[in-house]
Structure 1
């Protein structure tokens, strides 16, 4: 694998960072800002593809440190975790003196990635959301409460702007978002989930809420209800979305096989949904190809007035020549040389950059994890060269163990007897002493993770723009709580009405949430079609 380039590059990109451009004198077609950004991202990823595609567990087996630019190696080897956290955030960190080429790399990555931050967001960990009625918080983790509360308000605004009161929630899971939309906001909801067991659990939670709501309403004559709910449960459907089917043929049989027949299409036939009306389509953290499938069904189904999508698990995206591919969707990105993203690159796009920054600032045993796994990989490859990149999981807290204890858990998972593997050799000790280098190398890869996610999101945005739809990317969630915090909103009519005043919808009455959504509105104004 060739080394990562260290020298300066020639043309300018947003934010003042530099990178390679087209030869002078070459006539370039007129491009939108989004198309230019996608092209610039691909140039950056092409320059640093060896870094992007590297697996940190190969740090020792493939001598990844030696493939870094020589000018970077000494300063990175001596950098503290706090200084590396500063590098991720665009600050030098105390006492840091980075090479200019490394600073240019970091500045370019940050300039090309969509701003994820919430400038006034609270540093406190997620907690119970007072913005949700108590009955809707049951069985819902704080992170999910934050997400469904914010997305629910956006969907309510979309409903009012489009005149659609029927929401189809695809990949509904246990139905937390669907319950908020139905019971809390009074919308008619169809929840589609491929796992029939989760459908049963969601229906049980609905019935539990209805019983509690009946009790509460029975006491209403004694005291006023603090936050009344509508006794209108979602309708749950077990079925899988068929991405290649015509829009009138929506669902496949659910999982597992034999769990039931193919469900009635909630979008209905040529006349639209079952009541002849239109619907809103949503997916909260739609995994892999489910996100692109939702966008494709929106694009070719006149029954769908608007869509609000939060993607997830980009590494599960299919790619050409599969039809329809999960990435790229747009003709704009597909036409760019070097647009391909490896599994490793797409997996990196799912990382929680803010969480890793926190780990670097806090130090501690968590930072051992990648070094331990890289040393274990070296021992496995030495014992049996044919075994590599096995999905070993010695335990969630294995990093708190000594390395011999860690290896004694991990080696049997690879089919190896720890007794026959030297765990206390000088070679193992020398690798463990390079933990700081493993951490530094992993940090560089983290710099590129938001750039890859931005390219995937841009591809989806451009796919919708190419077909004439109105769309925007909204950083709706706090990335400290929810790393996949962008919501792609698209409609057949202008979005200004749906998005106007969104900043007034705050969560828990906390001012930082207002600032959060104001930043989202600013982003939407920049991205909305003129």
Structure 2
């Protein structure tokens, strides 16, 4: 545990990049162009295509290769071999690179608080994430606390304050939540005032449930309830609205809000979007008093890359604020000028685990959007790849979908396309829907490999800087929380 070094990480990244090398165009293709650019012929290797001849083959391939994950298939050996090669490169198969929570706890040798399952005020998914993250951060902070240290936690991308409030209320830590959105910080404080009032009751219920006792239904206060019990104070939780960069001095910010100097800061973030995850690693390195890092990233498509140009970003205002690049971070990948591309980064954030667990085929809108692009090429070829349709809801057929798109985008020519033409188009490409579904799943099989490149680059960045005690931890259940890896680092 913790023994993985720079050389081992570089070898692992070499293996991932070698596997991806022939498929960069595949992982960067856009599903909108599946029909217009004939993705099936261009990106699926010929040996795989030759194994499919009928609609029955397509359905059987999805069931065998994906829903049953059969990598020994005699019916589809080329597909099985192709998918097995990708499976082998998933992070869970790199035992040397991963550290378990239990292994880290053994090294930290800290006392353990009771881990309460408090589900109110958040979804089951968020509850799962908050409980595990808060428990880990508590142990990390304990491990660096001394009689002479003043410990604080900074929660980057605080949002509604789910993690911060748990750290403050259950574990008693002093926490500063930072979020770029002023509305988020205001909502976080409002939520926490409600949570503070309900906290004693919530903890009582959680403790009963942990003992196998079903608590009484919540309602009017019990006559026996001790009115003298004072809710825990939230004086140890503050929020501020700032855009985090390496220039933002965390020590000064904590002094401003808590009127105390800090020499032991834990910088954390639960699902920090895009560049913020990378920025947190850079802040950890740049600021001496930042002694602990615990970060779970997400939204890889919002990362700013060194070597990927002319990308479309839906949230341009946010992207324009980001002055630093978030990928690659390591010198090793920077020297090689590794480029992922926006579509590849979007793919990296998709959850093959959740898709397989639910046996979930892509939504019909993916197929309809591909058909719509055929109409664009037929009636307004100058608009190919220009229409940003976004989400379309509440339609029962392809003609309805097209009508909603025409209204939403205010495109007169699309509104005039006859229903007969739409139905003929649908009939002509009926088999293509099944091919598209298999293509979608095959492309998604690259998602864990792409995410591995991003995460190992971050870990390598820390190792290159000499942080021997830096770890990649599989923290959450992958089906419940698709972005389930945490980067942890401790300064000695």
Selected match of 1:369 from 365, 368, 371: 365
Selected match of 1:152 from 134, 139, 155: 134
- Can you give the 5+ residue segments of structure 2 that lack an aligned partner in the other structure? 95-113, 205-220, 308-321
Shift of 1:213: 4.6
Alignment check: 8 A CA contact 1:288 1:311 kept:
yes
Provide the residue aligned with 1:461 in structure 2.
459
Tell me the distance in 2 between the aligned counterparts of 1:97 and 1:408: 42
Provide the residue aligned with 1:341 in structure 2.
340
- Can you give the 5+ residue segments of structure 1 that lack an aligned partner in the other structure? 1-29, 118-129, 251-263, 494-530
The TM-score with structure 2 as length reference comes to 0.78
Where 1:72 maps in the other structure, the secondary structure is helix
Tell me the distance in 1 between the aligned counterparts of 2:34 and 2:121: 41
Selected match of 1:290 from 276, 284, 291: 276
Provide the residue aligned with 2:192 in structure 1.
206
Alignment check: 8 A CA contact 1:241 1:293 kept:
no
Alignment check: 8 A CA contact 2:153 2:174 kept:
yes
Change (3 A) 1:65 1:464: same
Question: Alpha-carbon deviations, 1:87-136, whole Å to 9, x = none?
Answer: 34783389762243x3333222111121299xxxxxxxxxxxx96465xx
Selected match of 2:161 from 175, 180, 202: 175
Tell me how large the CA RMSD over aligned residues is: 3.3
Where 1:172 maps in the other structure, the secondary structure is coil
- The aligned runs of 1:380-459 (5 Å cut-off) are 380-387=376-383, 388=385, 390-396=387-393, 398=395, 401-417=396-412, 418-425=414-421, 426-459=424-457
Tell me the distance in 1 between the aligned counterparts of 2:485 and 2:428: 42
Question: Alpha-carbon deviations, 1:38-82, whole Å to 9, x = none?
Answer: 111112211111211111110111111121223222435644456
Alignment check: 8 A CA contact 2:168 2:237 kept:
no
Tell me the distance in 1 between the aligned counterparts of 2:156 and 2:6: 34
Provide the residue aligned with 2:105 in structure 1.
none
1:106 counterpart = 2:83: yes
Provide the residue aligned with 1:3 in structure 2.
none
Selected match of 1:71 from 47, 57, 66: 47
Provide the residue aligned with 1:484 in structure 2.
483
Shift of 1:329: 0.4
Alignment check: 8 A CA contact 1:169 1:189 kept:
yes
1:141 counterpart = 2:138: no
Please list every run of at least 4 consecutive aligned residues from structure 1 whose deviation after the TM superposition is greater than 6 angstroms. Answer: 93-96, 214-217
Provide the residue aligned with 1:40 in structure 2.
15
Alignment check: 8 A CA contact 2:6 2:463 kept:
no
Tell me the distance in 1 between the aligned counterparts of 2:93 and 2:195: 35
The TM-score with structure 1 as length reference comes to 0.72
Deviates more, 1:138-147 or 1:367-376: 367-376
Shift of 1:231: 2.7
Where 2:488 maps in the other structure, the secondary structure is strand
Tell me the distance in 2 between the aligned counterparts of 1:233 and 1:381: 60
1:52 counterpart = 2:27: yes
Tell me the distance in 1 between the aligned counterparts of 2:394 and 2:77: 36
Question: Alpha-carbon deviations, 1:273-294, whole Å to 9, x = none?
Answer: 9423311010111001111111
Provide the residue aligned with 1:84 in structure 2.
62
Change (3 A) 1:317 1:351: same
Provide the residue aligned with 2:239 in structure 1.
237
Tell me the distance in 2 between the aligned counterparts of 1:397 and 1:335: 49
Change (3 A) 1:140 1:488: same
Change (3 A) 1:273 1:355: farther
Q: Which has the higher helix share?
A: 2
Where 2:377 maps in the other structure, the secondary structure is helix
